[in-house]
Amino acid sequence: GEDVEQSLFLSVREGDSSVINCTYTDSSSTYLYWYKQEPGAGLQLLTYIFSNMDMKQDQRLTVLLNKKDKHLSLRIADTQTGDSAIYFCAESGKYGNKLVFGAGTILRVKS
Amino acid sequence: GAVVSQHPSRVICKSGTSVKIECRSLDFQATTMFWYRQFPKQSLMLMATSNEGSKATYEQGVEKDKFLINHASLTLSTLTVTSAHPEDSSFYICSAGPGTNTGELFFGEGSRLTVL
């Protein structure tokens, strides 16, 4: 079945880069997503990548996709305290919009 | 960008009562909306797919008589938790997409239900 795994916790210093990793199992997923969730709030779409791409850059965010290994990563450059949140990766799954989420990675940024 | 709004954001109710949560797509039409449930410190669990004009599709293990879903229009889906019990206390989130080529889904702010 579909499954998405992430590391649970990451702590970085302000100004450093953060790299959050994710592995997924459904090779038929068309899109892979990164969402951010701040405490008590809903999810905010950060970025997404089409499955035939290797990399996507969007300002401080860089997404790398290794389709062979089914590995997705999110790099946040110059991490700020406001980046502290839970980050979820998700795959679109076989049927498109029906997202399957990882358990989330808690990012803690120390000043 | 596209916006999805949920209401209420927080609700406290007594055990045995029913609670309705609304999910609206504000600037696009959504034939399909999704309802998720999130337990503390856990990921989102898809509960059901809400289809406009037809019955919702429930995920395995989700009681359809317990969680009633009505998708009456292209911009509104409702989730009603019937005869709520304390174990139904959770964070409920809906999502919808404008159906563009990106397959983007936008999420509501979430509704925190506390059943006493």
- pLDDT value at position A94? 62
Query: What mean pLDDT is reported for chain A?
Result: 89
Q: Judge contact between B51 and B32, C-beta under 8 A.
A: yes
For B103, list phi and psi in degrees, rounded to 5: 70, 20
Q: Residues of A at the B interface (Cβ-Cβ below 8 Å)?
A: 30-31, 33, 35, 40-45, 48, 88, 92, 96-104
Size of interface A-B (CB pairs under 8 A): 51
Contact B93 A43 (CB under 8 A): yes
> Nearest-CA residue of chain B relative to A41?
B109
Contact A97 B107 (CB under 8 A): no
The one-character DSSP state at B32 is E
The one-character DSSP state at B54 is S
Burial A67-88 (b: 16+ CB within 10 A, else e): eeebebbbbbeebeeebbbbbb
Higher-scoring residue by pLDDT: A1, A72: A72
Cα→Cα distances B19→A55, A88, B101, Å: 44, 28, 35
Examine the pLDDT at A44 and tell me if it is beyond 80.
yes
* Contact with chain A for residue B102, Cβ under 8 A: yes
The one-character DSSP state at B59 is P
A60-103 pLDDT, tens digit per residue, is 999 999 999 999 999 999 999 999 999 999 988 766 667 888 88
At residue B49, the 3 state secondary structure works out as: strand
B31-58 pLDDT, tens digit per residue, is 889 999 987 767 788 899 888 888 899 9
